[in-house]
A and B are shown apart, each in its own frame.
Chain A
Amino acid sequence: MKIPYRMQAAVAVEIRRQNMLAAIARNPPRLEQKPFDESATMHVACYGPSLKDTWQDLRHPCISMSGATRFLADKGFIPDYHIDMDPRAHKIKQITPPIDGVTYLIASVCAPIYFETLKDQKVILWHCVSSTMDADVEWLSVNDFGQLLFSTGSNIGLAAIQIGGALGYRHFEIHGMDGSFSDGARHAGEHFGKVQKADTSWTSQFVRYRTSKIMANGVAEAINAMRSYPIFCVFHGRGLQQSLIEEENLPNACTTAQAEKAEFVRRATVRFPDYDVAPKAKNAWEAICFSKPDPAWLPELQQWWEIAEKRRTKADFNTGSISLETGLLLRSVCEWRRPKVAIEVGTFIGKSTHALVADHIYTCDKNNDCLPATERIHPHPKQTSRQMFEKLKGEGVKAEVFFFDGRITDEEVPLVLELSAPGAVYLFDDFSPGPHGKGVSNVKKIAPVLKDYALVKPYEPFKERTTLAMLVPLSLGERAA
């Protein structure tokens, strides 16, 4: 569903980033993805007017937000979680005083005073997108490496569903998500935020609902979330959102007015059918590590590819880079071998570096300085492979995975061996005949000095879209097969 209105964020990105740095510095526990419990249900208490009518049907566990937490506590129902991601300082009014027994799931963009107010409470920190996903992934990789980043949507109710997913839930009973005014009220009770005018309307099922542009956007986003995610939601109360959910007639979302369907939605589970998507291995790559690549690698690699492409402007020597296909193969090798250390020759814009997974990745590029360093990635810009190898040798580094996307010399071969952990795997890009086939040249240098290794040629089904070959120890290859 198209998002109807173009809106501006209430707080500038620079301030959000300052808030994030301050929150990270406090170092509260981070939100981690829990495995899904297909039988569990999370109740979500939004603060729309209909919460007044349905709150008695709320059960635990429950995430609430905004003024709903206080509203419920005053009625004797203490929610398990309170969630917020509003960077404006005045939001502390909603949580003052804090309520004992509530776990506060607070986005790092929230103002420092928010965290100060909760200093004696249980707080779990998470990060939401503040500018663009690409920019924030990059920012986070430098400032809070390895933590989850959530694209929440524009309101906190949508965020509660996302965060509920991270807590391991895909069944939700959603209260007070109305997206519209009721008798002139936008909330079930007192609210300290900026007053929103009912500046637009939306007709659904022959009823004209008064709403605001901000709420209308949220309503459309919620519909898109229901369409897109493997979640099951039953909406309580009456309002624009609930009416549109009925209109959409999705298999995974309905309202309590649709009693029979609600029972079906509550019992529904995600079904991954038996249809065989990974037939028997047909070649060495599949036998070793590429029989069933994880679909989750793709969005991550696609995002890194977008980020990396923008680094071309920094390149002194602008050349080709690896394909998405090669990226997937590199990732599959790392998932198989799970190296502590990987060494790469030929950083360029960093696509392959991001495809590799290791605690530490050392990478060099004799011509370019495009890739920023992180805790995990140690670029050696404007350095030859020999210079990097010598340095790493001095540090006693041993690597389980090597990726060569640059030509190595005969003199470097003993260095590579010294830097190799037992059973190391060697990957070679440009393994193709002809003058650009530096992979062939590299294999010819390294293969003769390795004992009991086998050459795995580029993955044939990808045809000319990959030229990645590898040398694997026979023992490992056999075990994997």
Chain B
Amino acid sequence: MRIGFYTAFDRDPIHYVLGRNMIQSAKRVMPDVEITQLTDMKSAPVYGVDSIRRLPREPMCVHTARHYSQCEGDWLLIDTDIVIQRDVRHLFDGATWDFAVTDRKGTGPTFDIYGDYNIGVIFQRDGRKFWSAVVSGLLKCPVKEQTWLGNQTVANRLLKEDGWNYSVIPGYEFNYPPRTKDDTHEHASIVHFKGSKRKGWLYQQCASV
């Protein structure tokens, strides 16, 4: 399994700070895992990545989905605001799904607009068709949606259709958003500091300023 994450530099280096922290967490529990940054033609590597894949810049959601559509083989595709606490490679053992998404059970309230599954954590064996469909869907959306949240909404819309060979795994374990700053989240293999408030908590932990 490889880990892939998307980030491109656009004045704000927060995802470089969080990304470095995510990489360190992954290497702590899976020292030999290869971590790949998915980015544009110019952005710098996040400190500690093993490899980079570059594609010409597009609005962020399209760019991310296009990168995902080109990830062949076993991948864990995650956001930068994530901490990995346990080795999760066993999920691929004997898997028959093409990709796995996390549900939101036990992960606190959310808004319907975001859909049933948070795509900040994706386990993928063969997601080429799915993410190509997400790219096609996004390109029909307004630019604003192509830039922010569109991949989340389009992916969830597509997942309501038949024909995708995917599995739903518990977000409580594999995509857990801490409820408070002091939430110890020890039960979770993957902790997701999504949203600006949680990102702030994580940044405080990892920036040593």
Contacts and interface: CB of A to CB of B under 8 A. Distances in A.
Interface of A: 1-2, 224, 227-228, 230, 270-273, 275, 277-278, 290, 292-293, 295-299, 302-303, 305-306, 309, 320-326, 328, 461-462, 464-465
Given A302-B20, A303-B47, A271 B41 contact: yes
Given A295-B44, A302-B46, 11 more contacts: A227-B52, A228-B52, A272-B57, A275-B58, A275-B59, A290-B11, A298-B16, A302-B47, A325-B14, A461-B11, A465-B209
A227 B16 contact: no
Contacts of B13: 298, 324-325, 328
Contacts of A2: 32, 34
B56 A228 contact: no
Interface in B189-209: 200, 203, 207-209
A326 B13 CA distance: 10
A271 to B, nearest CB: 5
A462 B207 CA distance: 13
B53 interface: yes
Contacts of B11: 278, 290, 292-293, 461
- Which of B11, B41, B43 has the most CB atoms of chain A within a 10 A radius of its CB? B11
A273 B34 contact: no
Contact of A295 (B34, B43, B52, B58): B43
Contacts of A272: 41-42, 56-57
Contact of B51 (A224, A270, A293): A224
B203 A465 contact: yes
B177 interface: no
Given A298-B13, A325-B12, A273 B53 contact: no
Contacts of B57: 272-273, 275, 277
Closest 4 CB pairs of A and B: A298-B44, A302-B47, A228-B52, A323-B209
B10 interface: yes
Interface residues of B, number: 32
Given A272-B41, A309-B208, A324-B207, A228 B10 contact: no
A324 B34 contact: no
B54 interface: yes
A319 to B, nearest CB: 10
B166 interface: no
B87 to A, nearest CB: 16
Contacts of A461: 11-12
Contacts of B17: 323-324
A464 B32 CA distance: 35
A302 B16 contact: yes
B150 interface: no
B3 to A, nearest CB: 12
A227 B207 contact: no
Nearest to A305: B47
A6 to B, nearest CB: 10
Interface of B: 9-14, 16-17, 20, 32, 34, 41-47, 50-54, 56-59, 200, 203, 207-209
A228 B58 contact: no
Contacts of A462: 12
B157 to A, nearest CB: 24
23 contacts: A2-B32, A224-B50, A272-B56, A272-B57, A273-B56, A273-B57, A275-B59, A277-B10, A293-B11, A297-B44, A298-B16, A298-B43, A298-B44, A302-B16, A302-B46, A303-B47, A305-B47, A321-B209, A323-B17, A323-B209, A324-B17, A325-B12, A461-B11
Contacts of A299: 44-45, 47
B51 A324 contact: no
A464 B47 CA distance: 23
Contacts of A224: 50-51
Contacts of B59: 275
A296 B44 contact: yes
A399 B101 CA distance: 56
A326 B208 CA distance: 13
A270 B44 CA distance: 16
Contacts of B203: 465
Nearest to B11: A293
Contacts of A277: 10, 57
A324 B16 contact: yes
Contacts of A230: 41, 54
A278 B14 CA distance: 17
B207 A295 contact: no
B10 A465 contact: no
Contact of A306 (B44, B46, B47, B51): B47
A320 B51 contact: no
Contacts of B43: 295, 298
A320 B209 contact: yes
Nearest to A464: B200
Contacts of A326: 209
A176 B51 CA distance: 25
Contact of A321 (B54, B56, B208): B208
Contacts of A293: 9, 11
Nearest to B45: A299
B16 to A, nearest CB: 6
Contacts of B209: 320-323, 326, 465
